[in-house]
Structure 1
């Protein structure tokens, strides 16, 4: 190899190295990870949450502009138990955002999150009942993906292998959502939802809701309706449809969600009518979820009746391996000054 060729090759290598260094510097300057991290943390603070990362966000341009997040922790302000822990996450950004355009997230990905339902309930309970002004729909151009998640209540496992895939989240356009998981016993579940989000006055409106839920090969449910959110814990929904159970038959079902206020939590009114079974209940969803997590837990506190009010008239009922026939039960909420469980009267044939 001639001396002139060696000099040319070394010069070319030097140009490539300089170009690579310049590209890395450009990536850092354009993405400005501190700016996006601060923006996310500020949005979390506005919702009464604290977001922290195990290490600073790292930028990348390939295959698209993005920020890699490691060791995510989301905690309610003043709380010690995190609502969410995740191994890592990724925020994909459009090129326009890099060059001074509006701050938009193209895609959000979170890997191996752990969500604590008790911590989530405590945060929701601390929120004011209403908001000022219209809620903001965070624009997500190409979707959200969550993989390998778990949902717990304290140290009790509720769901594992949790995954979530969502499409574009844009006002006025249909939004698809698919959630799948397995319960603590390994039974697979899946929820498919489509709805059209819109801002109506000072509320986020969800129109044309179509919700499908399956649990193994035994249960399938479909509901349609509308919902709206005024901000914080002020949410409402009206849904109706049918539930098919492989062993019990087909049921008519209706759900009505009432917003929380200064004295009452978020409340779900549930009505179900079918062969031999009739339910008319008003239940706090998060309270019921926590109650359910203690079923079969021999080391936990003594289990009382579920929180809420209403009546149950069931020819047969199977819960956590317990079979009951001819169950009639009335739930009465405890007085406001009492800390005891709701009163109940019940009779069963067997």
Structure 2
């Protein structure tokens, strides 16, 4: 075969290859169908893209899918939906047929992640070695939603500049947590020591608790090792500090709060137990140190056992000799009810030989504090026992006072 003929055949082969590539790239729906089919088979999911798709080869393969759904076979609803998914990969990923999980960039517009469906899918997957993909040009999410059992995260935005092996990962995330009439908008900067399970996680930013008639804007800083598995996630221990301000009508209470304990999230339930806590404030906010256990599913549950260093001056004055004592005050607080602390709580206080056991509803007590003085006692139900009590010079001994409120006497806890 002559040299000229060999060059002619080589040129024809290249031309044919280019023609095939051009034909393939000109049919993005065919490419999209092939990619979603192969990816779905690998993940055990049914993945569809009903909208128009786009495909580019210049600079490395890039595929844009629209109206995307991913669901487990036979599932009642999709695990993930998205208005569009834009994925760019290097040629090395194509050549490795997915063995190399190198990705340039992923962009998700209006994704909706169903957490119960995600947990069911994860539980069905066989155990295997987990590979962390790299994202050399990062990840972007806009207008996302995460749906849980009775709660959601709306208006989710996430920006991750890059994810590389054994390198720190930085991200910015914002959104709004919604549960019943509770709204918690947040904007946080996140850092992980590396993209791996049990790596150190840090976050700082702003979080605001919003409920009808009350707000609590806060600056938050948290850190701890993050562990994620098929059952949920945990940060143990979680170290958190909060500088916040509670506002309700004319009530304005700035305070600082810190805790240290294991945080667990599983199947829509959140728990933090046992945790060391510290509360610092001025005015109506006491200085408190103690231990706490907290859980939240469809309602909040709290048990707190600690010590008040002193009786705050802004609280109603205690009669002598109780008020003259400088002894600290052991305190136990129990609550079970809505997250806004609007239900009835139980409070136990002690100082020296004095004991106080009461039930109260926080909104009613705050309203009593804020209202013109009409009653010397806050709205509560309970019992006070003390050896001696001095009321305007009248000395009472063996005091046993019982307070009754029909709405509080039989209420739990």
Q: TM-score per shorter chain, which class?
A: 0.5 to 0.7
Q: From 170, 193, 196, give the equivalent of 1:196.
A: 193
8 Å Cα contact 1:34-1:57 kept in structure 2: no
Alpha carbons of structure 1 residues 27 and 131: separation in structure 2 relative to 1, 3 Å: closer
Task: Tell me the residue number matched to 1:172.
Answer: 166
Deviations 1:149-195 (A, max 9, x none): 234457x7844322111132222100112111245688641122100
Aligned to 2:86: 90
Alpha-carbon spacing, 1:85–1:131, altered in 2? closer, same or farther (3 Å): closer
Residue 150 and residue 235 in structure 1: after superposition, are their counterparts in 2 closer, same or farther (change >3 A)?
A: closer
Partner of 1:232: 230
- Structure 2: 5+ residue runs without aligned partners? 1-15, 209-215, 246-252, 281-285, 306-331, 349-357, 366-413
Choose the corresponding residue for 1:150, options 141, 145, 164: 145
Is the deviation greater in 56-65 or in 219-228? 56-65
Match of 2:313 in 1: none
* Residue correspondence of structure 1 range 71-90 to structure 2 within 5 A: 71-90=67-86
Aligned partner of 1:269 in structure 2 is: 272
Q: CA deviation at 1:329?
A: 7.6
In structure 2, the partner of 1:36 is 35
Name stretches of at least 5 consecutive residues in structure 1 with no aligned partner.
Answer: 1-17, 292-304, 331-345
CA distance in 2, matches of 1:218, 1:58: 44
Q: 1:125 to 1:89 in 2, by over 3 A?
A: closer
The TM-score normalised by the length of structure 1 is 0.63
| Secondary structure, aligned partner of 1:24 | helix
Q: Does 1:347 align with 2:359?
A: yes
CA distances 1:109-144 after superposition (whole Å, capped 9, x unpaired)? 11112334xxx1354267549974542212222111
Conserved 8 A contact 2:163-2:195:
no
Residue among 278, 290, 293 paired with 1:281: 293
Q: What is the Cα deviation at residue 62 of structure 1? A: 5.1
**Separation of aligned partners in 2, 1:100 and 1:29:** 23
How far apart in 2 are the matches of 1:151 and 1:181? 10
After superposition, residues 185-264 of structure 1 pair within 5 angstroms as: 188-197=185-194, 204-207=197-200, 209-216=201-208, 218-229=217-228, 231-233=229-231, 235-238=233-236, 239-246=238-245, 247-258=253-264
Contact 2:32/2:49 (8 A) holds in 1: no
What is the rounded CA distance, in whole Å, between the counterparts of 1:32 and 1:87 in structure 2?
A: 18
Please provide the CA RMSD for this pair: 4.4
Distance 1:85 1:253, change over 3 A: same
Report the CA distance between 1:19 and its aligned residue: 12
Could you say if the C-alpha distance between residues 274 and 323 of structure 1 is closer, same or farther in structure 2, counting changes exceeding 3 Å?
A: same
- Distance in 2, Cα, partners of 1:266 & 1:186: 18
Q: 2:103 matched to which residue of 1? A: 105
Could you tell me how far apart the structure 1 residues matched to 2:120 and 2:304 are? 26
TM-score scaled to structure 2, two decimals? 0.55
Q: Is the 8 A contact 1:210 1:222 kept in 2?
A: yes
Alignment check: 8 A CA contact 1:125 1:265 kept: no
**Does structure 1 retain, via aligned residues, the 8 Å contact 2:79–2:113?**
yes
**Alpha-carbon shift at residue 219 of structure 1 (Å):** 0.7
Higher relative contact order (CA 8 A, sep 6+): 1
Specify whether residues 76 and 347 from structure 1 end up closer, same or farther in structure 2 by C-alpha distance, changes over 3 A only. farther
- Whether 1:328 aligns to 2:346 is yes
Q: CA deviation at 1:70?
A: 1.2
Cα distance in 2 between the residues matched to 1:266 and 1:130 = 22
Alpha-carbon distance change, 88 to 192 in structure 1, aligned in 2, over 3 angstroms: same
CA displacement at 1:34 relative to structure 2: 4.7
Q: Is the 8 A contact 2:37 2:47 kept in 1?
A: no
